[in-house]
Amino acid sequence: MLSKPDWRGWFFASPSAEMHWMSFLLPDLVFFIGAGWLAAVGLRHEHRWAWPMLLLHVGAVGYAALYSLTAALISSAAWPGAWLMLASFLITAILAHRLRPY
């Protein structure tokens, strides 16, 4: 969406939502990307902290999915973004469940 700004209309509930999208950049870098990357590295090396890190990532994905779904329900727009986030959440949650250490 950074390289194709004209595609953003499919994913935002309103034009002003683009500003809100940019406000999620830092939390996404830390919790969505950072926690996911750390979980992957930790799982690869079988560290004890890897699964809790994966759960932190799942929580971030779940929050983003619910936010996207709520925006789509309120505005009757932005459904592609909501469906993509819901699919991402379901896949990540199932993966975390299957990788649980006990």
Ranges assigned E (strand) in 26-72? none
Question: How many domains is the chain partitioned into structurally?
Answer: 1
Please indicate, yes or no, if residue 68 is contained in any of the structural domains.
yes
Residue 11 lies in a domain: no
Structural domain contains residue 33 = yes
pLDDT at 38: 98
pLDDT, position 62: 96
Residue 31 domain-assigned? yes
Other CB atoms within 10 A of residue 95 CB: 14
Residue with tokens 């727009």, as numbered in its chain: 77
Tell if the pTM clears 0.75, that is, is over it.
Answer: yes
Domain that holds residue 28: 23-98
Those residues of the chain that have pLDDT short of 50 are none
